[in-house]
Amino acid sequence: MESVTAKSPPTSASSMSMSDVDMSENSLSSSYEPPAGLSGPSAILHEILQTYDHRVRPNFGGAATNVACSINIISLDSVTEITMDFGMTILLKEYWNDPRLAYGNKSHLPYLGSGKDMIEQIWAPDLFFANEKQANYHDVTQPNRLVRIYPNGDIYYSMKLTLVLSCRMNFETFPMDMQRCRTVVESYQSTDNELTLEWREPDAVVLSTLIMLPQFSVIPELSHGPCTDQFYTTGNYSCIEFSFVLIRELTFYVVQAYMPTALLVIISWVSFWIDISQAAARVSLGVTTILTMTTTTTGYAGSAGLPKVSYTKAIDIWFDACLAFAISSLFEYSVVHYLWTKDRTERQRQKVLRKNNKKFHFPSTCLSGPDNESPNRHHRHQFRSATSGRSTEYTVAIDENKPDPRFANYNYGPTYRPVRNEQYRNNYDNETPRMDSLDEDVENGMAYESRNHRDCHVPGEKEHPVFFGLFKSSSSSSSPSPSQGSHRSSKLLALRIDQLARVLFPLTFLLLSVTYWSYYLSRRRVSDIL
């Protein structure tokens, strides 16, 4: 507020009584003659200001001066969340009565009007905005102030102001929040024993219909009334307040925040339809989704212009939930991939051992029987499929002309090598195309049985683990090994988890979305905040 310079005599206001002031005014007014050249309103103003002291309130020493106010909100200029304030341009109107300015029937005019110069010569309420951060008068093209003095002493004073006012904002439900911003007007100098404030009805606070904000809509019903008297060490001060509600528009946040993150979550579900063995594709999709989600949420938090509050906002819950879904999709694949490949190491080790023992050698002492007499003898051995239960016969050719150097000390001449029986070749080639070698037969769960040499063992040589699964009776080899059964069940479990995730993830996300929006939209009621 602009300062006011005293121009009246230095007489102490406290030493004057209202009777002294009235007697002085009556005596002077009866003998007052306007200066030459003054007439009409100028003469009246000159007359009533001759004995007027603007430092003394009306009814000094008597009842408190009543001041009525009304406000026209011309525009809401900005709402800044990070500093929790808003700007607006208003017309502040004040009404009070000052008997010292009554001029009766001295003029036929309904009122005497003036501007800034007049308000500096009369008493005016010392009002201020309690939550004001910044305020400016408007002086283009002339100071925007108006004073009207009515014949009975009523005073009307209005001014145009641009204010920046603080507003206590709560962002727990952001961006579905509603902010109630208050404006408090009170007296700065006069206590409630000297000045009382009230709203001038019926148009106490009027909101312009042209107000439009990009991110908010304003509720046209404004609440106003007296506020609790402000108590300071210097006394109690009368105050009035009004408030309005700002409802945040959701369209921007749905398009820029909610839809992109929801689409990223949906994209992360694509990995459930990618083959489990395609680790590179599924991992890269999951990692890319998580990184994009993190970039989106971090960038939005930096550009939203919100203060760093200590509580969790509604949009933070949404972002965290979407990020959790993306991470869960990647975690689901880690579990599925583990189940799919958990016995790969064991199978690779067995495969290496089978390659190292691809050719079998047996001592000649194990080759007793009528078939041992031929120089190139063929012995029949039986394999039983662990999956189908069929018995398959092989002929093992013994070539005595190619001794194995591993059995040189034992004088074991013949070398065993598996040869497929012609009968098996004719009967099962079309049914079991994978059984092209002994190595593949063993790998696919075939049990080997030698009809002529079941108990043959090289003296002094430790039996290789491969032979434990190789030389078994037909009865014991008819069922799959525990490791193979576990492998098949693990793969089946991995497939079932993938199939379950295809349904469970979308349903869970849909349930979360419905719960989220139902809860926060139910809190978006104007009646709860007014």
User: Hey, what are 464's tokens?
Assistant: 């290789």
Confidence at residue 527, expressed as pLDDT on a 0 to 100 scale: 62
Q: Which of 23-27, 274-278, 477-481 has the lowest mean pLDDT?
A: 23-27
CA dist., res. 348 & res. 65, Å (int): 99
User: If you search the block for the tokens 């489990």, which residue do you land on?
Assistant: 276
* Beta-carbon count within 10 A of 484 CB: 17
User: Is the confidence at residue 394, as pLDDT, over 60?
Assistant: no
Q: Which of 86-90, 325-329, 457-461 has the lowest mean pLDDT?
A: 457-461
Segment 105-129 shows an average pLDDT of 90
Segment 135-142 shows an average pLDDT of 92
Q: pTM surpassing 0.85?
A: no
User: Is the confidence at residue 393, as pLDDT, over 50?
Assistant: no
pLDDT-based confidence at residue 177 (cuts at 50, 70, 90): very high
CA dist., res. 99 & res. 106, Å (int): 15
User: Is the confidence at residue 121, as pLDDT, over 60?
Assistant: yes
Question: Is the domain 18-249 a CATH 1.10.940.10 member?
Answer: no
Confidence at residue 45, expressed as pLDDT on a 0 to 100 scale: 85
Q: Which of 117-121, 358-362, 382-386 has the lowest mean pLDDT?
A: 382-386
Segment 33-55 shows an average pLDDT of 78
For every residue of 22-49, DSSP letters joined together read: HHHHHHHHHT--PPTT--THHHHHHHHT
Residue 20, judged by CB atoms within 10 A of its CB (0-12, 13-18, 19+), counts as exposed
pLDDT-based confidence at residue 57 (cuts at 50, 70, 90): very high
Segment 129-147 shows an average pLDDT of 94
* pLDDT tens digits, 27-43: 344 455 656 556 678 88
Q: Which amino acid is at 384?
A: R
pLDDT-based confidence at residue 48 (cuts at 50, 70, 90): confident
Please provide the average confidence, as pLDDT, over all residues in the chain.
76
Classified as helix, coil or strand, 97 is strand
Instruction: Please give the distance of CA 1 from its chain centroid, rounded to a whole number.
Output: 43
- Residue among 399, 393, 389 nearest 477 (CA): 389
Domain boundaries, the chain: 18-249, 252-341+502-528, 360-463
User: Hey, what are 179's tokens?
Assistant: 């902010």
Q: Which of 86-95, 341-350, 448-457 has the lowest mean pLDDT?
A: 448-457
Confidence at residue 122, expressed as pLDDT on a 0 to 100 scale: 94
Segment 371-383 shows an average pLDDT of 46
CA dist., res. 195 & res. 67, Å (int): 7
**At a CB cut-off of 8 Å and minimum separation 6, what does 144 contact?**
137, 138, 159, 160
User: Hey, what are 407's tokens?
Assistant: 């059995």
Confidence at residue 221, expressed as pLDDT on a 0 to 100 scale: 82
- Residue among 176, 177, 174 nearest 301 (CA): 174
Superfamily classification of domain 252-341+502-528: Neurotransmitter-gated ion-channel transmembrane domain (1.20.58.390)
Classified as helix, coil or strand, 6 is coil
Measured in degrees and rounded to the nearest 5, phi and psi for residue 498 equal: -60, -45
Instruction: Please give the distance of CA 103 from its chain centroid, rounded to a whole number.
Output: 66
Between residues 299 and 429, the one the model is more confident about: 299
Q: Would strands 65-80 and 205-207 be described as parallel, antiparallel, or unpaired? A: parallel
**What's the number of CA atoms in the CB half-sphere (13 Å) around residue 355?**
6
Helical segments of 448-481, H only: 465-470
Confidence at residue 41, expressed as pLDDT on a 0 to 100 scale: 80
**At a CB cut-off of 8 Å and minimum separation 6, what does 457 contact?**
463
Q: Which amino acid is at 150?
A: Y
Residues in the chain: 530
CA dist., res. 228 & res. 226, Å (int): 7
